[in-house]
Structure 1
Amino acid sequence: MQKVLGERFTVLAVNHPMGNFLDAFYHTGYYYTFVGIMQVLAALLLLIPRTVVLGALIYLPIILNICILSLAVRFDGSQITSPLMLCAVLFLLCWNYHSIKHIFPFNYLQVNSVLPKKEELTKRFPLKFFTGVFAVVLFVVFHTRLFYDIMPRNSYSDCITQCTTENDKGCYTFCDCIHKQGKSLEICLEELNNVP
């Protein structure tokens, strides 16, 4: 709703890679408001069972963009939640595949023989499904936490908490580069790699 109302939705410094992006995004004018309207519309459509497929189709490109952006700039704020939200919308689309399968140029007979019809689903506790969901959540959490050796974090003080010792020159150089000098993530990572 903050986007719809034309307000900023973050207090990240412009020096932070995500803060820089969000500041530029805020200054796009009606595009910023349009994205907010589409997010609210998708949320409302997802709440109504009859329109859940339309809501999921609208939300898919939005959350895919947020997910890729969060991973690209190593943003702590949505690094775990956005991949999980992407998985959730993909699950909704798979669950409602019978409603959207006709837009795909596949052989419908093969698809119908592989996927059960909605009426054939049982009320048994879906142990396999919840085991799979649990495995995906664990994978996302561990992958996002262990994938990067250093992150910009949200502030300089948060960033230097990653530095293992006071002599970790590379870590301090990276945090200073991002938060105090305001250089891009690529330049700061290059400087980090050049520190002996």
Structure 2
Amino acid sequence: MNIIQGLDKLYARSRGNKWMRYFTTFTRLALVAGFLPAGYVKIIGERFTDLHNNQPMGHYLEALHHTGYYYTFIGYAQVVAALLLLFPRTVVLGVLLYLPIILNICVLSLAVRFEGSLLTAPLMVIACVYLLCWHYERVKYIFPFNDPPQQAIVQNNKFPKWFFASVVAIFLLVGYTVTHMYDLMPRNTLTGCQTQCGDSEDPAACNVFCRSIHNNGQDLKKSLKEYERSLKRK
């Protein structure tokens, strides 16, 4: 018996056991319960914990809280991953979204020795791996020892001009959008930030913005609000 046949036999025997099916359902619901509240807190913009800023994890979470809609994005990703786990047809998709998020949390918890998730995060990573094993029939073709079903390929040597034209158009569109979507950028240095003040509607306010970021360590959101208030007073 080769490794593929062994895995297939183990998989069939496991899926036929009702107690393992109960455990799988419990695992899914436990993972859902782990991400729904955490994601909701981020979506409404609340700080995730009341840890002191000088505590290693508290320091990280405080900085994360000041990242604006990136913080909210993480919350939505957690909620979406949790909701996908609720439905059998979307479990695998949910796990594939859930796993990298919780793996990041796990490594972070170990790196800063945060006891709040030192146990739960590794267990949640293992739970995700278990669910992928439970749905082995859906993910087995990502392993090098399983060959996916072959589909007929129609050879065509015609140059796909519309495809490559679309690639170039998307590249130019994205490039233009991301370089023109913000009127004011913090840049990497104080000098770099101040180079854009000459074209600003209020150069003085722009310079105050740059100094508040690079000299005072003020968060971006607050600095932008002060800059916008200065523009309204003009």
Question: What range is the shorter-chain TM-score in?
Answer: 0.5 to 0.7
User: Are positions 1:70 and 2:109 aligned together?
Assistant: yes
Q: Which amino acid in the other structure matches residue 71 of structure 1?
A: L
State the distance in 2 between where 1:50 and 1:83 align. 26
User: Are positions 1:28 and 2:67 aligned together?
Assistant: yes
Q: Deviations over 1:20-67 (max 9, x none)?
A: 000001111111101100000000011111110000000010000000
State the distance in 1 between where 2:143 and 2:135 align. 17
Q: Which amino acid in the other structure matches residue 146 of structure 2?
A: Y
2:134 match: 95
Q: Which amino acid in the other structure matches residue 82 of structure 1?
A: A
User: Are positions 1:106 and 2:140 aligned together?
Assistant: no
User: Are positions 1:9 and 2:48 aligned together?
Assistant: yes
1:50 to 89, 110, 134: 89
1:1-196 correspondence runs (5 A): 1-102=40-141, 104=142, 106-108=144-146
CA radius of gyration, larger in: 2
Aligned residues: 109
Secondary structure, in 3 states, of the residue corresponding to 2:52? coil
Please list every run of at least 4 consecutive aligned residues from structure 1 whose deviation after the TM superposition is greater than 6 angstroms: none
Secondary structure, in 3 states, of the residue corresponding to 1:12? coil
State the distance in 1 between where 2:135 and 2:122 align. 20
Going from structure 1 to structure 2, the CA distance change for 1:105 and 1:81 (only over 3 Å counts) comes to closer
State the distance in 2 between where 1:65 and 1:107 align. 28
Q: Which amino acid in the other structure matches residue 36 of structure 1?
A: G
Identical residues among aligned pairs (%)? 61
Shift of residue 6 of structure 1? 1.1
Secondary structure, in 3 states, of the residue corresponding to 2:41? coil
Secondary structure, in 3 states, of the residue corresponding to 2:127? helix
Secondary structure, in 3 states, of the residue corresponding to 1:108? coil
2:207 match: none
Shift of residue 107 of structure 1? 3.3
State the distance in 2 between where 1:107 and 1:93 align. 17
Query: Which fold has the larger relative contact order, with Cα–Cα distance below 8 Å and residues 6 or more apart in sequence?
Result: 1
Shift of residue 105 of structure 1? 5.6
Structure 2's unaligned 5+ residue stretches are 1-39, 149-234
1:191 match: none
Secondary structure, in 3 states, of the residue corresponding to 1:76? coil
Structure 1's unaligned 5+ residue stretches are 112-196
**TM-score, structure 1 as length reference:** 0.53
